[in-house]
Amino acid sequence: MNKKTRKILIIYTGGTIGMMHSHRSGTLIPFDFGSIMDQIPELKLLNCKIDFFAFKNAIDSSNVQPDFWIELASVIEKKYNAYDGFVILHGTDTMAYTASALSFMLENLSKPVIFTGSQLPLGAIRTDARRNLITTIQLAANEISIPEVCIYFSDQLFRGNRAEKYTSSKFDAFESYNYPVLAETGVHIVLNKDAILKKPLKKLLVHKKFDTNIALIKIYPGIRVDVIERILSTEKLKALVLETFGSGNAPTGKTFIDVLQRAIKQGVLIVNVSQCSGGAVEQGKYETSIHLKEIGVVSGGDITTEAALAKLMFLFGQSSNLKEIKKLFQTDLRGEMSKVN
């Protein structure tokens, strides 16, 4: 019996992977995805039909904003029933932010949405673009569906809202320190089935509202309390992601704690995430985090900073009920966090 031909849509948004060197001019020019099967003939060996959609204006990922996330989610929503999987070509700098945002936007996702990119453009000597693209398409067309938003890079498939870019110079640019990889690709593709989300039975629901009245502060030795106070007094500020030391530790000085407490009493949600890539916030484990817990700072557990920011923008975009948002932030919605301590 012949296997079903899978239909895959490649969505090009921008980034290094969509560029190639012009031998004539020596400069980078856009890759012609209309002739992708001719330029990458290996794709003809895959049992899938590949279509292509390009954003009208390719975007450098450093310019990504929530409006872009909404546009991208809208493309997937419109094309959802026509395809078995989606491959999104995206710049690496903000890929983890976009993947996190889409994981929250695409509720009840039952098909693979896989981001990939490259450190070198197509056509460059030793480029990683070719292999990343071919393997991502193969994963999106896999008979065993991966019903979540993912990032594929350099032989590993990550849950999108668990990944982070940790290097700008190596081919294995992404890591997932607090959650196992969903698949590894060597000679064979090996899926980690126990780590993959279960396929939902409900219909896809796409959310398209974000609230960007969110701030991020990284705690460091010598940080001035008046700087924190100015940020917390920003008009319409809804929430603050506080990047603390280790397992959630921060200065215990009275002025520092008082500034945070005043903001919380005024309705600002303050979330504690760790500066460390691995491990989790455990408020109260050490004396230097007890005060944060006592004044109502919310633990982010093992969530990444990228996912925390995207989740807060998403939650405040859906509701103005602070009590409900606080509860939902500490709830695992799309596999983005383990149980909060």
E-assigned strand segments in 94-173: 106-107, 113-116, 149-153, 156-159, 164-165
* Cα–Cα distance for residue pair 85/70, rounded to 1 Å: 19
> What count of Cα atoms within 13 Å lies in the side-chain half-sphere of residue 134?
18
What is the Cα–Cα distance from 314 to 130, expressed in whole angstroms?
A: 34
Write down the catalytic residue from 13, 16, 127, 136: 16
For residue 339, what are the contacts with CB-CB under 8 A and spacing of at least 6? Answer: 301, 332
Contact indicator for 7, 51 with CB cutoff of 8 Å: yes
* Residues ≥6 apart with Cβ < 8 Å to 35: none
Terminal-residue alpha carbon distance, the chain: 51
Q: How far apart are CA 19 and CA 29, in angstroms?
A: 5
Mark whether 16 is an active-site residue: yes
**CA 224 to CA 21: how far, in whole Å?**
47
With CA atoms as reference, report the closest residue to 303 among 222, 263, 244, 228.
244
What is the SS3 string spanning 181-227? CCEEECCCEEECHHHCCCCCCCCCEECCCCCCCEEEEECCCCCCHHH
Contact 273, 331 (CB under 8 A): no
Angle, alpha carbons 8-46-57 (nearest 5°)? 40
Q: What is the CA radius of gyration of the chain?
A: 21
Residues serving a catalytic function are 16
